[in-house]
Amino acid sequence: MLSRLNDTPCSGDPAEGPHGAGTTHGQAGATPDHGGVGLDAGERQIRERVAAFEELLGDPHEAGNPFGNAALLEADERGELSVEAERALAAFRLNDEFVPRELGGNLDRIDGLARVLRPLFRRDASLGLGYGVTSFLAAIAVWAAGDEAQRGRTADLLRGGGRLAIAYHELAHGNDFVRNEFSARPDGSGGYLLDGRKDVINNAGRAEGLVLFCLTAPPGQRGPRSHSVLLVDTAGLPEDAWRVTDRYRTVGVRGCQVAGFSFERCRVPADALVGRQGGGVETALRSFQITRSVVPGMVLGGADTALRTVVRFATSRELYRRSVLDIPHAQATVASAFTDLLVCDSICLAATRAVHLLPEQTSVYAAAVKYLVPKLLQDACYNLSIVLGANFYVRDGDYGVFQKHVRDLPMVSLGHAGSAACQATIIPQLPRLARRSWTQGTPAPEALFRTGGGLPALDTDRLVLAAEDDALVASLLAAADRLEGPREAGAELAPVRALVRALVAELTRVREECLALGPHDRTAMASPHAYALADRYTLLLAGSACVNVWLAQRQDGGDFLADPRWVVAALTRVCRHLGLPLPEEADEHSEWMLAEVLGRYHEGRSFDLYDTHLAGPLVDDEPAAARH
């Protein structure tokens, strides 16, 4: 069981890290209060850590900044991680973010982890994965199932600047890891002998610790209890019994050291076993619920930079003595991309907070967010690339960072589960949820949709392999009822009501089709129709998250997020992605959303729910045409 993470204040001020930084202009990382609700100690600490991290990352356009665009693009071309940047991350003690509070780290809230790591992914996904998140993906299995000694050793390793690598899947079997052949056989003295290969492993040659998914059942006995998880210290392995295989060269995240392992009767001690023998599948699936929930919220940072790069281009490049952003198509594309980022962040918010608030339902939400968010972000980046035109192919200078993020995004999104694997997790659960929950479920607590505020401790014992309820769908129905009631009867909310009605009607259609699925369509070998149902379902979850985030902020009396225009734009985008006929009241509010984009761009603020001030100087807002 994972340590009971809580909101107990850390000793010391997280903003005063080892790098000794304050903030560049007194605002980096600061988030608007949105009404002042829910600023508990944990929320303040998250904001302080984001602010300190932004200060460390500095101005992306500054020459000589190891986290600047020029330095990161040069490292990417070399296929390396910046040594200077990694040294700075170590001094900042970034690994503390992956270690539970009770073991000396900062980890207590999954939504907070996504927010703290987002700035690094805004700069470089290779550093985000290669220095940090890969270690978290491995460590979560130890936090969830390891004993006290294993947890202590892992915490000491990470807090000392070390790395972990995680090796679940095998090339021959993909996501069907129950068929994995890499074995750990009894050595006759209580330990294990490792045999086989693990390939395409990030940090394979750099990690001091390995988390390995191994076949431990006797030959011919495979099933849900046939595999186990082992935690291995590479320094203790006999040199002649294992080796790191050749590095793989990747299209994206080029700086990541992706290689593999080969073991031949390599002895490891009995205390390498994490949890009980035969518990590997359960440990993996519980761990995936946390990692799938949190990583998309980090990855969103790369799309933020892609949008910022296109706005920089469109406001500075001229055509016929007018800026590119004067072109209606460019305006609509920029506004739509911003809206899609808000849609993605809304479901990321719900998924990460559900790990604490609705752990029994997280299996479906984690798969949904891991499937949908990368898909929407990649589509948005493709549309933005059209605005860049030929500059999309530039690999250096002001616009080279756009191509890097577009190359990195699919690699980061794949992780331990691609789109099809996530859909295959969702599909078998749909008929049961449609029958038991969608018409009579209990809505999620409002805390699920708040951009701040405390959360209960994370308890991995409450994570289950299949959800029985679906509070996020119930919250969509509850929002529809609320919008039809006297409290929200204003004419200005008519577009919201119309769009929510359209989503509820789509939910009815999806439910009927889910209930009609045959036995074959409830497995990983389901028909394309079942996979399309999973896609539609995830978009309905996104719509529910958007409208409920807006309702929560409206109640708190916030500013931008309390305005109905953004949620009308967001729900219109969701309906477009669903291919639904749009109600007459639908409006993408392109001019208003574009004005918000430009305001955030010129003032150096993030394009997500948190509207965070970023490091670096403010942008000159003088239009290009006015300088002639």
Does domain 165-276 fall under CATH 1.10.150.110? My reply is no
Residue spans of alpha helices (H) in 79-215: 83-92, 110-123, 125-127, 134-145, 148-159
CB 98 within 8 A of CB 158: yes
pLDDT of residue 397 exceeding 70, the answer is yes
Fold agreement (165-276, 283-449+463-603): no
CATH level 2 (architecture), domain 41-161 = Orthogonal Bundle (1.10)
User: For position 33, what pLDDT does the model report?
Assistant: 46
Q: Mean pLDDT across the stretch 320-346?
A: 93
User: For position 9, what pLDDT does the model report?
Assistant: 35
Angstrom distance (rounded) from CA 285 to CA 363? 8
pLDDT of residue 256 exceeding 50, the answer is yes
Q: Mean pLDDT across the stretch 88-109?
A: 96
pLDDT of residue 433 exceeding 70, the answer is yes
Per-residue pLDDT band at 416 (split at 50, 70, 90)? low
Per-residue pLDDT band at 105 (split at 50, 70, 90)? very high
What are the residues whose beta carbons fall under 8 Å from the beta carbon of 480, sequence distance 6 or more?
497, 500, 501, 504
Per-residue pLDDT band at 172 (split at 50, 70, 90)? confident
For the stretch 575-609, pLDDT in tens is: 999 999 999 989 999 999 999 999 999 999 999 99
| Closest alpha carbon to 290 in 239, 246, 241, 354 | 354
pLDDT of residue 143 exceeding 50, the answer is yes
pLDDT of residue 457 exceeding 60, the answer is yes
Angstrom distance (rounded) from CA 514 to CA 548? 24
Q: Mean pLDDT across the stretch 473-499?
A: 91
For the stretch 274-285, pLDDT in tens is: 999 999 999 999
* Percent of all residues in the chain with a pLDDT value above 90, rounded to a whole number: 75
pLDDT of residue 474 exceeding 70, the answer is yes
Per-residue pLDDT band at 620 (split at 50, 70, 90)? low
User: For position 191, what pLDDT does the model report?
Assistant: 94
For the stretch 12-47, pLDDT in tens is: 333 333 333 333 333 444 445 444 445 678 889 999
* Percent of all residues in the chain with a pLDDT value above 70, rounded to a whole number: 91
CB 531 within 8 A of CB 513: no
User: For position 125, what pLDDT does the model report?
Assistant: 95
User: For position 415, what pLDDT does the model report?
Assistant: 59
Per-residue pLDDT band at 368 (split at 50, 70, 90)? very high
pLDDT of residue 206 exceeding 80, the answer is yes
Output the CA–CA distances (angstroms, integers) from residue 494 to 101, 489, 497, 519, 568, in the order listed: 46, 8, 5, 41, 10
Average pLDDT in the chain:
89
Per-residue pLDDT band at 414 (split at 50, 70, 90)? low
User: For position 462, what pLDDT does the model report?
Assistant: 93
Q: Domains of the chain: which residue ranges?
A: 41-161, 165-276, 283-449+463-603
Q: Which two tokens stand for residue 205?
A: 């040659």
Cα-flanking dihedrals φ and ψ of residue 196, to 5°?
125, -170
- Domain covering 283-449+463-603, topology: Butyryl-CoA Dehydrogenase, subunit A; domain 3 (1.20.140)
pTM: 0.91
User: For position 298, what pLDDT does the model report?
Assistant: 96
Q: Mean pLDDT across the stretch 377-399?
A: 90
pLDDT of residue 7 exceeding 90, the answer is no
In the three-class reduction of DSSP (H, G, I as helix; E, B as strand; rest coil), residue 106 is classed as coil
- 352 against 393, higher pLDDT: 352
Within 13 A of 338's CA, how many CA atoms are on the CB side?
Answer: 31
User: For position 343, what pLDDT does the model report?
Assistant: 98
Q: Mean pLDDT across the stretch 170-187?
A: 82
Q: Which two tokens stand for residue 357?
A: 């608030």
CB 299 within 8 A of CB 409: yes
For the stretch 38-72, pLDDT in tens is: 567 888 999 999 999 999 999 999 999 999 999 99
User: For position 417, what pLDDT does the model report?
Assistant: 62
